[in-house]
Amino acid sequence: MWKRIKLFFAAQELQRRPFVHPTLGTFEFDVDLGWKRNCRLDGHDVDVVIGSDGETPSTDMANTAADWVSHWDILRESVIDYAEKELSTWKPEWHPTVANRLVLSSINILWPNAPTTIMLYFDDPHDDIRSWHATFEGREPKGFAFDD
């Protein structure tokens, strides 16, 4: 009897069907992140993440992801120019990286109440300590920073 009661209260992960976007394809649910899929951009694997607690992503969030993925080859230059401009205002010891060597690692649309706000995460092949990120609302840059 106690085993049945224990099983009743045990946390069980819900089985979720994959989310399929018409242009990006199939996303799998990751409990820690939300809907996630891998794409190949600039010759690198890039995670595309649409934040969620399990609900299906909104059309706006999914379309924001699709927009950035499908236009990355056009947007990359303006993102790197923005990063370079931001880095030029920092003390040199704070940013040993060069913006044009940053490699996109993920595109994240995290907030249902801000479906066009994204965070782009980058790796620097010459710096394995920092994770760089830029925030955009639509296509307007709103912030550039790093995490140690």
Query: Could you read off the pLDDT of 111-135 as tens digits, one per residue?
Result: 999 999 999 999 988 888 888 999 9
The span from the CA of 134 to the CA of 143, in Å, is: 6
pTM confidence score:
0.85
**3-state class (DSSP) for residue 133:** strand
* Residues 41-60, mean pLDDT to the nearest whole number: 93
Share of the chain above pLDDT 70, in %: 86
**Confidence at residue 96, expressed as pLDDT on a 0 to 100 scale:** 66
Return the CA Rg of the chain.
18
Q: Among the listed ranges 10-14, 87-91, 106-110, which one has the minimum average pLDDT value?
A: 10-14
**3-state class (DSSP) for residue 67:** helix
Dmax (CA) for the chain in angstroms is 67
For residue 35, the tally of other CB atoms under 10 A from its CB is: 27
* Environment class of 44 (CB within 10 Å of its CB; exposed 0-12, middle 13-18, buried 19+): exposed
Please choose, from the candidates 18, 38, 40, 16, the residue with its C-alpha nearest in 3D space to the C-alpha of residue 28.
18
Token output for 37: 């899929």
* Residues 67-89, mean pLDDT to the nearest whole number: 94
Residue 95 main-chain phi, psi, to 5 deg? -140, 80
Q: Which residues of 54-91 are buried (b: 16+ CB within 10 A; e: fewer)?
A: eeebeeebbbbbebbbeebeebbeebbebbeebbeeee
**Confidence at residue 16, expressed as pLDDT on a 0 to 100 scale:** 75
